Amino acid sequence: MNYPHPILAKEGWPFIAGTLVAAALTSFAGLWSLPFWLIFIFCVQFFRDPPRVIAGGEKSVLAPADGRIVVVEESDDPYLNRRALKISVFMNVFNVHSNRSPIKSSVQQKWYKPGSFLNAALDKASAENERCALHLKTIDGRDITCVQIAGLVARRILNYVEAGTSLDAGQRFGFIRFGSRVDVYLPLDSKAKVVIGEKVFASNCILAELS
Protein backbone atom coordinates (compact mmCIF):
# COMPACT_ATOMS: atom_id res chain seq x y z
CA MET A 1 0.00 0.00 0.00
CA ASN A 2 1.30 3.43 -0.90
CA TYR A 3 0.24 5.62 2.05
CA PRO A 4 -2.25 8.22 0.72
CA HIS A 5 -1.12 11.66 1.77
CA PRO A 6 -0.34 15.08 0.32
CA ILE A 7 3.11 15.86 -1.08
CA LEU A 8 3.95 17.51 2.27
CA ALA A 9 3.97 15.18 5.29
CA LYS A 10 1.23 15.74 7.86
CA GLU A 11 3.90 15.88 10.59
CA GLY A 12 5.20 19.09 9.04
CA TRP A 13 1.97 21.06 8.69
CA PRO A 14 2.31 22.94 12.03
CA PHE A 15 5.95 23.86 11.25
CA ILE A 16 5.17 24.95 7.70
CA ALA A 17 2.11 26.97 8.73
CA GLY A 18 3.91 28.60 11.67
CA THR A 19 6.95 29.67 9.67
CA LEU A 20 4.76 30.93 6.82
CA VAL A 21 2.76 33.11 9.21
CA ALA A 22 5.96 34.43 10.81
CA ALA A 23 7.50 35.23 7.42
CA ALA A 24 4.32 36.93 6.19
CA LEU A 25 3.91 39.02 9.35
CA THR A 26 7.48 40.25 9.31
CA SER A 27 7.13 41.12 5.62
CA PHE A 28 3.95 43.13 6.19
CA ALA A 29 5.51 44.88 9.18
CA GLY A 30 8.48 45.97 7.09
CA LEU A 31 10.89 44.03 9.29
CA TRP A 32 13.83 41.97 8.06
CA SER A 33 11.91 38.86 6.91
CA LEU A 34 14.51 36.95 4.89
CA PRO A 35 15.55 34.58 7.74
CA PHE A 36 11.89 33.64 8.31
CA TRP A 37 11.36 32.93 4.61
CA LEU A 38 14.50 30.78 4.57
CA ILE A 39 13.24 28.80 7.58
CA PHE A 40 9.88 28.38 5.81
CA ILE A 41 11.59 27.07 2.66
CA PHE A 42 13.71 24.69 4.76
CA CYS A 43 10.59 23.31 6.46
CA VAL A 44 8.84 22.78 3.12
CA GLN A 45 11.80 20.84 1.71
CA PHE A 46 12.32 18.87 4.92
CA PHE A 47 8.71 17.72 5.22
CA ARG A 48 8.21 16.82 1.57
CA ASP A 49 6.85 13.29 1.26
CA PRO A 50 6.41 12.21 -2.36
CA PRO A 51 4.59 9.00 -3.34
CA ARG A 52 6.85 6.06 -4.13
CA VAL A 53 6.82 3.08 -6.48
CA ILE A 54 7.25 -0.14 -4.49
CA ALA A 55 10.20 -2.13 -5.85
CA GLY A 56 11.07 -5.83 -5.74
CA GLY A 57 9.14 -8.98 -4.88
CA GLU A 58 7.96 -10.90 -1.83
CA LYS A 59 11.50 -11.63 -0.60
CA SER A 60 12.89 -8.14 -1.29
CA VAL A 61 13.81 -6.03 1.75
CA LEU A 62 13.27 -2.41 0.78
CA ALA A 63 14.96 0.70 2.09
CA PRO A 64 12.83 1.98 5.00
CA ALA A 65 14.14 5.53 4.54
CA ASP A 66 15.91 7.86 2.14
CA GLY A 67 19.60 8.42 2.79
CA ARG A 68 23.07 6.95 2.57
CA ILE A 69 24.15 3.42 3.52
CA VAL A 70 26.59 3.63 6.44
CA VAL A 71 26.66 -0.01 7.63
CA VAL A 72 26.53 -3.38 5.88
CA GLU A 73 27.89 -6.03 8.22
CA GLU A 74 27.24 -9.07 10.36
CA SER A 75 26.25 -7.87 13.81
CA ASP A 76 24.40 -8.70 17.03
CA ASP A 77 20.68 -7.95 16.91
CA PRO A 78 20.16 -6.64 20.48
CA TYR A 79 16.37 -6.95 20.24
CA LEU A 80 16.03 -10.58 19.11
CA ASN A 81 19.32 -11.78 20.64
CA ARG A 82 20.74 -13.29 17.44
CA ARG A 83 23.46 -12.73 14.87
CA ALA A 84 22.13 -10.84 11.90
CA LEU A 85 22.99 -8.92 8.75
CA LYS A 86 22.79 -5.26 9.75
CA ILE A 87 22.16 -2.54 7.16
CA SER A 88 21.91 1.09 8.26
CA VAL A 89 20.56 4.13 6.40
CA PHE A 90 21.67 7.60 7.57
CA MET A 91 19.29 10.50 6.83
CA ASN A 92 20.60 14.04 6.74
CA VAL A 93 18.36 17.11 7.04
CA PHE A 94 17.90 17.26 3.24
CA ASN A 95 16.47 13.72 2.90
CA VAL A 96 12.79 12.76 3.02
CA HIS A 97 12.17 11.56 6.59
CA SER A 98 9.10 9.34 6.19
CA ASN A 99 9.79 5.77 7.28
CA ARG A 100 8.26 2.87 5.35
CA SER A 101 7.94 -0.84 5.97
CA PRO A 102 10.83 -2.77 4.39
CA ILE A 103 8.65 -5.80 3.55
CA LYS A 104 5.13 -7.20 3.83
CA SER A 105 4.96 -8.34 7.45
CA SER A 106 3.17 -8.20 10.78
CA VAL A 107 4.44 -6.33 13.85
CA GLN A 108 5.27 -8.81 16.63
CA GLN A 109 6.67 -6.42 19.21
CA LYS A 110 7.63 -2.78 19.66
CA TRP A 111 10.32 -1.33 21.93
CA TYR A 112 11.01 2.31 22.77
CA LYS A 113 14.33 3.18 24.41
CA PRO A 114 15.26 6.71 25.55
CA GLY A 115 18.84 7.78 25.02
CA SER A 116 21.32 10.34 23.77
CA PHE A 117 21.34 12.40 20.57
CA LEU A 118 24.73 11.59 19.05
CA ASN A 119 25.48 12.06 15.37
CA ALA A 120 23.34 9.31 13.79
CA ALA A 121 26.09 8.53 11.25
CA LEU A 122 28.19 7.07 14.08
CA ASP A 123 27.78 3.34 14.68
CA LYS A 124 27.47 3.81 18.45
CA ALA A 125 24.25 5.74 17.82
CA SER A 126 22.56 2.33 17.38
CA ALA A 127 23.17 1.55 21.06
CA GLU A 128 23.19 4.97 22.72
CA ASN A 129 20.64 7.19 20.97
CA GLU A 130 16.90 7.42 21.51
CA ARG A 131 15.29 4.72 19.37
CA CYS A 132 12.13 2.81 18.55
CA ALA A 133 12.39 -0.77 17.28
CA LEU A 134 9.88 -3.06 15.57
CA HIS A 135 10.07 -6.84 15.38
CA LEU A 136 8.55 -7.74 12.00
CA LYS A 137 7.64 -11.24 10.84
CA THR A 138 7.31 -11.85 7.12
CA ILE A 139 4.54 -13.93 5.53
CA ASP A 140 6.93 -16.91 5.36
CA GLY A 141 8.02 -16.56 8.99
CA ARG A 142 11.34 -14.70 8.68
CA ASP A 143 12.28 -12.23 11.43
CA ILE A 144 13.35 -8.66 10.69
CA THR A 145 14.11 -5.87 13.15
CA CYS A 146 13.62 -2.29 11.99
CA VAL A 147 14.92 0.46 14.28
CA GLN A 148 14.26 4.22 14.07
CA ILE A 149 17.11 6.16 15.71
CA ALA A 150 17.13 9.84 16.63
CA GLY A 151 20.17 11.88 15.62
CA LEU A 152 22.13 14.97 16.57
CA VAL A 153 19.35 17.32 15.51
CA ALA A 154 16.37 14.93 15.54
CA ARG A 155 14.48 15.07 18.82
CA ARG A 156 11.26 13.31 17.97
CA ILE A 157 10.63 9.78 16.74
CA LEU A 158 7.06 9.21 15.53
CA ASN A 159 5.87 5.61 15.18
CA TYR A 160 2.24 4.80 14.41
CA VAL A 161 2.07 1.01 14.67
CA GLU A 162 1.73 -1.48 17.52
CA ALA A 163 2.04 -5.24 17.98
CA GLY A 164 -0.53 -6.95 15.78
CA THR A 165 -0.40 -4.37 12.98
CA SER A 166 -0.10 -5.77 9.45
CA LEU A 167 2.16 -3.84 7.10
CA ASP A 168 2.45 -3.95 3.34
CA ALA A 169 5.84 -3.42 1.70
CA GLY A 170 6.42 0.32 1.44
CA GLN A 171 3.61 1.22 3.85
CA ARG A 172 4.34 4.35 5.84
CA PHE A 173 4.70 3.62 9.58
CA GLY A 174 6.51 6.63 11.04
CA PHE A 175 8.59 9.76 10.73
CA ILE A 176 11.72 11.18 12.40
CA ARG A 177 12.14 14.93 12.60
CA PHE A 178 15.38 16.65 11.56
CA GLY A 179 18.14 14.13 10.81
CA SER A 180 18.33 10.50 11.90
CA ARG A 181 19.01 6.85 11.02
CA VAL A 182 17.23 3.54 10.47
CA ASP A 183 18.87 0.16 11.20
CA VAL A 184 17.55 -3.07 9.72
CA TYR A 185 18.59 -6.48 11.12
CA LEU A 186 18.04 -9.40 8.73
CA PRO A 187 18.57 -13.17 8.82
CA LEU A 188 22.24 -13.98 8.27
CA ASP A 189 21.56 -15.82 5.02
CA SER A 190 20.10 -12.66 3.42
CA LYS A 191 21.94 -11.31 0.38
CA ALA A 192 22.87 -7.61 0.63
CA LYS A 193 22.16 -5.58 -2.52
CA VAL A 194 23.73 -2.30 -1.37
CA VAL A 195 27.20 -1.11 -0.37
CA ILE A 196 28.46 1.51 2.08
CA GLY A 197 28.17 5.01 0.68
CA GLU A 198 25.33 4.16 -1.70
CA LYS A 199 22.32 6.50 -1.78
CA VAL A 200 18.93 4.84 -1.37
CA PHE A 201 15.30 5.92 -1.50
CA ALA A 202 12.54 4.50 0.67
CA SER A 203 10.56 1.75 -1.08
CA ASN A 204 12.29 2.46 -4.44
CA CYS A 205 15.54 0.66 -3.54
CA ILE A 206 16.21 -2.93 -2.45
CA LEU A 207 18.54 -3.36 0.53
CA ALA A 208 18.68 -7.16 0.45
CA GLU A 209 16.98 -10.33 -0.70
CA LEU A 210 15.83 -13.00 1.76
CA SER A 211 16.78 -16.58 0.97
Q: State the Cα–Cα distance between residues 71 and 66, nearest whole angstrom.
A: 14
Residue 107 has pLDDT above 80, yes or no: yes
DSSP letter, residue 53 = P
- Helix or strand (DSSP H, E) at 18: helix 13-28
Q: How confident is the model at residue 189 (pLDDT cuts 50, 70, 90)?
A: very high
Domain 60-209: CATH class, spelled out: mainly beta
Task: Answer for the pair 8, 44: CB distance below 8 angstroms, yes or no.
Answer: yes
Q: Domain boundaries in the chain?
A: 10-46, 60-209
Q: How confident is the model at residue 71 (pLDDT cuts 50, 70, 90)?
A: very high
Q: Torsion angle, CA of 123/116/186/197, rounded to 10 degrees?
A: -40
Q: State the Cα–Cα distance between residues 119 and 177, nearest whole angstrom.
A: 14
Q: How confident is the model at residue 1 (pLDDT cuts 50, 70, 90)?
A: very low
> For residues 121 and 191, which has the higher predicted lDDT (pLDDT)?
191
What is the rounded average pLDDT of the residues 188-210?
Answer: 96
What pLDDT sits at residue 155?
57
What pLDDT sits at residue 6?
67
Q: State the Cα–Cα distance between residues 96 and 201, nearest whole angstrom.
A: 9
Q: State the Cα–Cα distance between residues 81 and 88, nearest whole angstrom.
A: 18
Say if residue 192 is exposed, middle or buried (CB neighbours under 10 Å; 0-12, 13-18, 19+): middle
Residue 158: Cβ within 10 Å count = 17
Q: Average pLDDT, whole number, for the chain? A: 88
Residue 9 has pLDDT above 90, yes or no: no
Catalytic residue, from 60, 105, 180, 190: name it.
180
What is the rounded average pLDDT of the residues 100-107?
Answer: 96
The reported pTM is 0.85
Question: Is there a catalytic annotation at residue 101?
Answer: no
> For residues 13 and 70, which has the higher predicted lDDT (pLDDT)?
70
What is the rounded average pLDDT of the residues 28-52?
Answer: 84
pLDDT tens profile 131-151? 899 999 999 999 999 999 987
pLDDT tens profile 11-38? 878 888 998 998 888 888 767 888 888 9
